A and B are shown apart, each in its own frame.
Chain A
Amino acid sequence: MLKNQNIEITPELIASHGLNEEEYAKILELIGREPTYTELGIFSAMWNEHCSYKSSKKWLKTLPTTGDRVIHGPGENAGVVDIDDGQAVVFKMESHNHPSYIEPYQGAATGVGGILRDVFTMGARPIAAMNALRFGAPDHEKTRHLVSGVVAGVGGYGNSFGVPTVGGEVEFDPRYNGNILVNAFAAGLADADKIFLCAAKGVGLPIVYLGAKTGRDGVGGATMASAEFGDDIDEKRPTVQVGDPFTEKCLLEACLELMQTGAVISIQDMGAAGLTCSAVEMGAQGNLGVELYLDDVPTREEAMTAYEMMLSESQERMLMVLDPEKEDVAKAIFHKWDLDFAIVGKTTDDLRFRVIHEGTEVANLPIKDLGDEAPEYDRPRAAYPAPSALGEIDSNIDVAQALLTLVGNANGASRRWVWEQYDHLIQGNSVQVPGGDAGVVRVEGADGKKALAFSVDVTPRYCEANPREGGKQAVAECWRNLSAVGALPLASTDNLNFGNPEKPEIMEQFSQAILGIGDACRALEFPIVSGNVSLYNETNGIGILPTPAIGGVGLLKDWAKMMTLSFKEEGEVILLIGEKGTHLGQSALLRDCFNRIEGDAPTVDLDKEAKHGALIRELINQEQLTACHDLSDGGLVVALAEMAMKGKIGAQLELSNDLGELFGEDQARYIVTVKSDNLESVLAAAKAQNVPVTQLGTVGGDKLEAKDIFAVSVAELSDFHESWFPDYMAAEAAQ
């Protein structure tokens, strides 16, 4: 018997659940009666933007998601990609933006915890993590506190869990003042034939609850993450979950141990919308009904209601359909790790989602409709404004001073202060640590040579000026970073952070960026295998810069051939692969040295990207190069400076004084160094493939020096580059 728990379903209550009139009418039509309070909560959890992708689905469908190596694309907890030898890499990126702004340490920590759980739910041991962080202006009153809390939270969780954090991005811009972005990426390693999925199989089988107990934390979190912020933001703190990496580490070991016994039929982690989302997905994907007995759910607080249990986002919990014959084995493993293990339900054949609490049926819903009938919107779009015109740029600048500004300001300075707080060495496989173009991790269980490369990239100011080119550029830069270390880019994951999709201009920006991402992923054979959408990143009507972060994975057959970006030896020849720079629109030079944000984003020629990248990988594979670095923010001169600082050795260069050539951010370009013996063969290879190449100078000395244009000591560059972050954060203590 359904009981309405004595709570009247009023229009106000419906609205507070983030459901509009039309959506509520659909609920009435689907179930033919008024929902109970718990049912209303369940619909709200399933139909909010975060879980249903109702505004984005139409556009996400346009992305390429298949390929020769793709084992599982979007729709599972994470994407699964073949890396040869019977092994697979399992990866995904997900945002935890809203919670991290409200409570930076726990918000970021549980973001990391959630993405790690997505990966090991599929049977993969996590081997690498990254994160893409975006904060407001450095001088905004909240920024320091948020940086400090988020970085500590990311580290606090990942370090304790024991996954190396091998890469990431940190960027500052006033447009993130009221909405920071915390995007966490994780990748794991699994046997390609032992991937675990969420679809339940078999009628009448026990559904088991594993992990930590359920509390009231995070009740309504996914609904909170699907709305704009207003000034009442501090009242939202109780919707942020609290993380416990110790329990998660135990859960990882227990799950992997249990999976080896063959007891697991299907498994789903409890992430956004907790028990509701995981139970519904298990049943719906397996074409089965589910019955849950909430009295058997382990709770850590007294007198929890059905509504609270169904919507709690307590962390470190899993749901599993278990082979009943192996129940004792499973129980023993979980008790060994001191984790809760409780049978809380069973699969049924009636396609209903039933929830029973204290002898009362508090929900009885059509399980397939909860997902399949979720609203899907083709939200209105409006013409997007053309990029502003690029005005005159005074070419008479002090190039050395501009370079020091670019490598020593908030967005150009070294991120060492950040990544030294992340354990990037644990597991003993990190062959390239943060600070290079991509993080590289050796793969265990193979020949000892195989390695995976990871990079996460996006240039939000390009996306704002020109969403389509910006979308392409995010993919291209990630793909280029993988190529620059010598890895074959395999596949990618996207984390699409945008403003309010109900504004037609934002919707147009969003759709164009996705189309751009799709263009690039198709051209570069870099399919999107997983991802996440975060909309409503607005506070008091001010939206963030559009930030579609792309996380990519590449494969190296032999990590000993891997390339790094540092200059190595005196006398080596420096070459630019790709065309000379010209494009100053939306450049770092313009923003940071002229305080101007104008012009179009650079155009991404995907044919050239593919061709130049292929040449780079071929040269690296033939061991013809001694260093390689992709060109991005700040263009040629900044890339050269980064190579010099990393190698602690200078260079003598022949450059023109054209600002476009020095600082232009044209795409599809790399700087490489070669031993003079290999120069002819490298030039010949470039010529044979019709790739432009320019000789820039030679490595040596303690200065980065271009005759008649600029000279600056490598030590001074490093001093500027390394000091900004620690100095900025030290001012926190002084405040």
Chain B
Amino acid sequence: MKSAVIVFPGLNRDRDMIAALEKVTGEKPHLAWHGDSDLPDVDLVVVPGGFSYGDYLRAGAIAARSPMLKRVKEHADRGGLTLGVCNGFQILTETGLLPGALMRNRDLKFLCKVIHLKAENTTSPFTSAYKGHEAFPCPIAHHDGNYFIDPDGLKALEDNSQIAFRYCDENGNVTLEANPNGSIENIAGITNKQGNVLGMMPHPENLIEAAHGGIEGRYIFDSLVAAVA
């Protein structure tokens, strides 16, 4: 699988994402600098996590207006697989590639911890490998992960099976206590209507080897490899 990672100044989980892609796919991703105007033809484009432009103005808002994001949008509009994690998710909602918005966490604090996630559908190109692993622990690390969407939008997400991941307890129950940031309906990740763009707050790139205490993050990359094979 050929992949590209978009690099903005201020991102900091770009290195984690690059390492994960290399470890899982065996291929180094192409690095696309935000100011460059060309994006090579790849199977997967990733917008990684961090604090692009310091999160100044609003998380993801400045990055969403950079030249490279136009290329990312073209790639996604052509049906190209596109993954946004954490700040990447915020950037993708800011560009309109994904619906809804990410607000400040319910408790107004940055939160880094291992939560549990449930794969809501295992039919998307990002989640097929989660069959049989529906609830798993996964790290989060964010200040603005409180997903919000209006009632019509929420209904559309549900009707089109666009909800990819929800926060749950260790037994897979979607409860209020298991919701770390106040996201509506415990939503942790969503796809676009076509299913080729995924945005999620948790960090699968920090969950791919024994040193991470689990390998369930790999399944996203495994799913993608299978999807492009």
Interface positions of A (Cβ within 8 A of B): 152, 155-156, 159-162, 244-247, 249-250, 253, 336-338, 419-429, 431, 442, 559-560
| Contact residues in A for B139 (Cβ distance below 8 Å) | 425
B225 at the interface (CB under 8 A from A): no
Which residues of chain B from 1 to 41 have any CB-CB distance to chain A below 8 Å in the complex?
Answer: 9-10, 12-13, 15-16, 19-20, 33, 35
Which residues does chain B contribute within 8 Å of A250, judged by CB atoms? 9-10
Query: Does B205 belong to the interface (CB within 8 Å)?
Result: yes
| A431 engages B15 (CB within 8 Å) | no
Say whether A155 contacts B10, CB under 8 Å. no
Question: B16 to A421, Cβ gap below 8 A?
Answer: no
Query: Chain B contacts of A246 at CB under 8 A?
Result: 9-10, 51, 53-56
Q: Which of A156, A162, A244 has the most CB of B within 10 A?
A: A162
Cβ-defined partner of B55 (8 Å) among A160, A425, A560: A160
Given contacts A160-B12, A249-B10, A338-B9, contact A425 B206 (CB under 8 A): yes
Does A425 lie within 8 Å of B54, measured CB to CB? Answer: no
Closest partner residue, chain B, to A254 (CB atom): B9
Among B110-118, B149-157, B183-191, the one that faces the other chain is B110-118
The reply to whether A245 and B211 form a contact with Cβ atoms under 8 Å apart is: no
> A425 to B12, Cβ gap below 8 A?
no
> 12 A-B pairs, CB-CB below 8 angstroms?
A159-B51, A159-B141, A160-B50, A162-B12, A249-B9, A421-B110, A421-B112, A422-B110, A423-B110, A428-B20, A431-B211, A559-B211
| Interface residue? B166 (CB, 8 A) | no
Question: What's the minimum C-beta distance from B211 to chain A, rounded to whole angstroms?
Answer: 5
Contact of B19 among A160, A337, A419, A428 (CB under 8 A): A428
The answer to the question of B212 belonging to the interface, with a C-beta cut-off of 8 Å to chain A, is yes
User: Is A426 a contact partner of B12 (Cβ separation < 8 A)?
Assistant: yes
Residues of B contacting A424 in the complex (Cβ-Cβ under 8 angstroms): 112
- Complex contacts, A245 vs chain B, CB 8 Å: 51, 54
Rounded to whole angstroms, the CA-CA distance of A244 and B205 in the bound complex is: 27
Interface status of B109 (Cβ within 8 A of chain A): yes
Determine the chain B residues whose CB is within 8 A of the CB of A161 once the complex forms: 12
Complex: A461 Cα to B166 Cα, angstroms: 47
Please, which residue of chain A has its CB at the minimum distance from the CB of B114? A425
From B9, B113, B203, contact of A420 by CB (8 A): B113
The 7 closest A-B pairs by CB, nearest first: A162-B12, A246-B54, A160-B51, A423-B141, A423-B112, A428-B16, A246-B10
Residues 67-116 of B contacting A (Cβ, < 8 Å): 109-113
A253 to B141, CA, bound (A): 22
Contacts of B51 in A (CB 8 A): 159-160, 245-246, 249
* Closest beta carbon of chain A to B186's beta carbon, Å: 19
Bound CA span A152–B15, Å: 25
Q: Which residue of A lies closest to B33 (CB)?
A: A336
Q: Which residue of B lies closest to A337 (CB)?
A: B9
A504 CA to B210 CA in the complex, in Å? 55
Q: Which A residue sits closest to B212, measured CB to CB?
A: A428
A421-B111 in contact (CB<8A): yes
Name the A residues within 8 Å of B206 (CB-CB). 425-426, 428
Structural contact, B10 and A426, CB atoms closer than 8 A: no
**Min C-beta distance of B112 to chain A, whole Å:** 5
Question: Given A425-B203, A426-B141: A162 and B13 within 8 A (CB)?
Answer: yes
For A336, what are the chain B residues with a Cβ–Cβ distance below 8 Å?
Answer: 33, 35
Alpha-carbon distance between A337 and B12 when the two chains are bound, in angstroms: 14
Name the residue of chain B whose CB is nearest to the CB of A434: B112
Interfacial chain B residues near A428, Cβ < 8 Å: 16, 19-20, 205-206, 211-212
The reply to whether B54 and A160 contact each other, CB–CB distance below 8 Å, is yes
Find the A residue at minimum CB distance from B20.
A428
Please pick, from A152, A249, A423, A426, the residue contacting B109 in the complex, using a CB distance under 8 A: A152
Whether A425 and B109, one on each chain, are in contact in the complex, defined by CB atoms closer than 8 angstroms, is no
Please, how many angstroms separate the alpha-carbon atoms of A559 and B15 in the complex?
Answer: 21
Closest to B55 in A: A160
Query: A429 — which chain B residues lie within 8 A by C-beta?
Result: 211
Chain A residues whose C-beta falls within 8 Å of the C-beta of B109 in the assembled complex: 152, 421
Closest-CB distance, A735 to chain B (whole angstroms):
16
Least CB distance from A447 to B in Å reads 13
Inter-chain CA distance A431–B211, complex, in Å, is 6
Query: Of A152, A244, A422, which is within 8 A of B54 by CB?
Result: A244
Residues of B within 8 A of A559 (CB): 211
In the complex, A428→B35 CA distance in Å? Answer: 27
Q: Which residues of B contact A560 (CB under 8 A)?
A: 210
| Closest CB in chain A relative to B107 CB, distance in Å | 9
**Chain A residues, Cβ within 8 Å of B203:** 425
**Cβ of A156 and Cβ of B110 under 8 Å apart?**
yes
Task: Output the least CB separation between A205 and chain B (Å).
Answer: 29
Residue among B12, B113, B143 with most chain A CB within 10 A: B12
Given contacts A160-B51, A419-B112, 5 further A-B contacts (CB under 8 A): A245-B54, A421-B110, A421-B111, A423-B110, A426-B12
Query: Which of A156, A247, A249, A338 sits near B12, CB closer than 8 Å?
Result: A249
Contacts of B9 on A, CB cut-off 8 Å? 246, 249-250, 253, 337-338
Question: Closest Cβ of chain B: how far from A162's Cβ, in Å?
Answer: 3
Across the two chains, which residue of chain B brings its CB closest to A449? B211
Measured CB to CB, the closest approach of chain B to A469, in angstroms, equals 37
Q: Which of B35, B55, B110, B143 has most chain A Cβ within 10 Å?
A: B110
Distance, CA A513 to CA B143, complexed state (A): 41
Which one of B19, B50, B205, B210 contacts A162 once the chains associate, using CB atoms below 8 Å?
Answer: B50
Residues of B within 8 A of A423 (CB): 110, 112, 141
B residues less than 8 Å from A420 (CB atoms): 111-113
Given A421-B110, A421-B111, A431-B211, also A426-B54 (CB < 8 A): no
Residue ID in chain A nearest B23 by CB atoms: A428
A161 to B10 CA separation, bound complex (whole angstroms): 8
A643 to B36, CA, bound (A): 52
Query: Which single residue of chain A is at the shortest CB-CB distance from B14?
Result: A162
What residues of A have a CB within 8 angstroms of the CB of B110 in the complex? 152, 155-156, 159, 421-423
> Counting chain A CB atoms within 10 Å of each CB, which of B10, B20, B53 scores highest?
B10
Closest Cβ–Cβ distance, residue A334 to chain B (whole Å):
12
Q: Contacts of A155 on B, CB cut-off 8 Å?
A: 110
- The smallest beta-carbon distance between B135 and chain A, in angstroms, is 19
B residues 175-215 in Cβ contact with A at 8 Å: 203, 205-206, 210-212
CB closest chain-B residue, reference A417: B109
Q: Closest B-chain residue to A162, C-beta based?
A: B12
* Neighbouring B residues of A421 by C-beta, 8 Å: 109-112
**Closest CB of chain B to A551's CB: distance in Å?**
21
Give CA–CA (A289, B16) in the complex, Å. 44
Give the docked Cα–Cα distance between A733 and B54 (Å).
Answer: 27
- Chain A residue at smallest Cβ distance from B209: A428
Say how far A6's CB is from chain B's closest CB, in angstroms: 40
Once bound together, how far apart are the Cα atoms of A442 and B56, in whole Å?
Answer: 32
Residues 128-173 of B contacting A (Cβ, < 8 Å): 139, 141, 143
Quote the shortest CB–CB distance from A446 to chain B (angstroms).
13
Residue ID in chain A nearest B210 by CB atoms: A560
Contact residues in B for A253 (Cβ distance below 8 Å)? 9
Q: Contact: B16 with A426, CB < 8 Å?
A: yes
User: Shortest distance in angstroms between B78's beta carbon and chain A's nearest beta carbon?
Assistant: 29
State A152–B141 Cα separation when bound (angstroms).
14
Q: CA A246 – CA B56 in complex, angstroms?
A: 9
Closest Cβ of chain A: how far from B35's Cβ, in Å?
Answer: 8
Could you tell me if B10 and A425 are in contact, using CB atoms closer than 8 angstroms? no
Which residue in chain B gives the minimum CB-CB distance to A160? Answer: B51
- Nearest CB of A to B130, in Å: 21
CA distance A253 to B11 in the complex (A): 11
A249 vs B13: C-alpha distance when bound (angstroms): 12
